[in-house]
């Protein structure tokens, strides 16, 4: 399936894109993260959380398809 992935803050700086569609055949979030590590090797050094459909999810969460975001540490306020 194709997954839409959004990048923010220092993660977007590293990927040099804010959004992309990626073909992906895994099932859970950690598999997607491994795929992204292969594409962006420096991503391993960064701290981030994953949101799926605008909710934070764990590495074991099953991917439902669209709207994945990589979120670096929050800095609001």
Partner 1 sequence: MQDKKPKSVFKEGAITSEFIGNSIYKHQTKTSIGAHNIFLGQVRADDIDEKTVLAIEYTAYEDMANAKFHEIREAAFEQFELTCMHIYHSLGTVKAGEICLFVFVSSPRRKVVFEALEYIVEAIKADVPVFGKEVFEDESHQWKKNS
Interacting residues with partner 1 between 32 and 51 (CB under 8 A): 51
65 binds partner 1 (CB under 8 A): no
Query: What is the pairing mode between strands 68-71 and 19-23?
Result: unpaired
Q: How far is the CB of 21 from partner 1 (least distance, A)?
A: 17
Interface residue with partner 1, options 23, 25, 60, 77 (CB under 8 A)? 77
Instruction: Measure Cα distances from 73 to 24, 28, 54, 61 in Å.
Output: 26, 22, 15, 20
* Cβ neighbours of residue 38 closer than 8 Å, sequence gap 6 or more: none
74 binds partner 1 (CB under 8 A): yes
10 binds partner 1 (CB under 8 A): yes
**Chain residues that interact with partner 1, rule: CB under 8 A:** 6, 8-10, 51, 54, 69, 71-77
């Amino acid at each position: 399936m194709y997954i839409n992935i959004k990048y923010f803050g220092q993660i977007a700086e590293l990927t040099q894109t804010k959004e992309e569609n990626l073909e992906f055949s895994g099932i859970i979030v950690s598999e997607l993260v491994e795929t992204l590590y292969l594409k962006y090797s420096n991503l391993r050094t960064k701290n981030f959380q994953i949101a799926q459909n605008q909710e934070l999810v764990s590495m074991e969460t099953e991917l439902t398809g669209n709207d994945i975001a990589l979120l670096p540490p929050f800095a609001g306020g």
